[in-house]
Structure 1
Amino acid sequence: MRQYVVDAFTDSVFHGNQAAVCVLDQWPDDELMMNITRENNFSETAFTVREGDKWHLRWFTPGGEIDLCGHATLGTAYVLFRFYEKDADRLVFTTLSGDLIVTKEGDLLEMEFPAYDLVPVKVTDEMEQVIGSRPLEAFMGRDLLCVMESEKTVRELAPDLEKVKQLDGLLLHVTAAGMDTDCVSRSFAPKLGVAEDPVCGSGHCHIIPYWANVLGKDKLVAYQASKRGGTLYCRREGNKIFMAGKAALYSVDELFFTGS
């Protein structure tokens, strides 16, 4: 099985978010895909199979399959454009979140994702204790989004990851206005076996709608302030989020195993 490791939302390796991408002729069983994912131990491993003029794409975390992942979609598109669809400028992925489209936009790859509807929720003492600082506001989509006082606060947070599992929402995102970008954020996913997601594309389907409304503009530059860091060039159109970034190839591997 051919596997590629790509750093997404960066133009150089050792930054951005790592994704393993397995390009397949047919689907293996789910147990094997989970074993490969756990062996990689990245936040996501993507598996894709060509089906007609589309590619069927599935994402797995060490904790199980997930319904939406931005950085592994970007990584998969990068691999397909570079090695399998060299003359294409547009790819369509069939996923658990419907058809996702990735297009070449100059030196960027732009993904079209659904925006999550954000429902305001009460800021609680539990949130403050778990996160280590009291949010100014909180919202629920698929994930919990907490708005913090400043970029400095976001960068310095050290949440209690075991207690993060007790909060509502699949992931926890913390965000604030940026000093050099429109917004900064960090994303934590201990429920999925991932302590901190270095750059979370699906998280920005929560983050960008919030900041687009607050800042009154639909084009934003976002920075994920993890140790690896990553930049996302985003725009909102109706209920869609267009998210663009670069990617860098780290390795091309052959996987060897016997059975599942």
Structure 2
Amino acid sequence: MDMVSEKSALVTGSAAGIGRAAALAFAAEGARVVVSDVDIEGGEQTVAMIEERGGEAFFVKADISLPEEVDALVARTIERFGRLDCACNNAGIEGKILPLVEQPLDNFDRIIAVNLRGTFLCLQAEIRQMLKHGGGSIVNLASVAGLIGFPGLAPYVASKHGVNGLTKNAALEYGKQGIRVNAVCPGGVDTRMLDSLAEQATGGAMTTREMMNPLHPIGRIGTPEEIAELIVWLCSDRASFVTGANIPVDGGFVAQ
């Protein structure tokens, strides 16, 4: 039996990268999927990929930093599927690599607005619906930068530490009502975000893999599909005793 058969799943930031891989994995494991992103073309491509493989999905454009758009996103989910069983709060941005005192305030504000405020707003809207239907499972996308510091990335690090904190609190507050909340903390993963960070860090002097592979004890960066495997498992009944966890999926990065 598929891990999330007959369940409905919402994945933010699913026009590419880890979000797209998660949406595809949810569909492959039997879920009906809501694909959401600010990137309309990429989101619709994700839906098409799911449908080509025999799954069911639809796209909703939403900026998760805006409460009205988050509420509309969850409302559309309920309108289409009748309930919300699984949610993956993946949407996020990386911002600029600069020392803390040189970070522009607008860069800090935008990263916090999307990564932390956006996750908070999604949690509120998702939990409200899950409470009406007897529970559910939520996975927030944090980062190894939510577990340790990274010079040059203070706003991003702060936002992801915040996501891990929100995850713990939500798990504590709603566990007895059947809602599990966990965070996944990826290391370096083959995505456009990592390419952007590598480009900023080296000025193009090194490829993403040249820069990042040696930093991981396993000897390589991860794939979006490897992160998606854990996301879907956490949302399934197979993870029924797992909540409030901030789980690194990082090729051993934070074990160093």
Q: Give TM-score, length-normalised by structure 2.
A: 0.29
Q: Give TM-score, length-normalised by structure 1.
A: 0.29
Higher strand share: 1
The structure whose RCO (Cα within 8 Å, separation 6+) is larger is 1
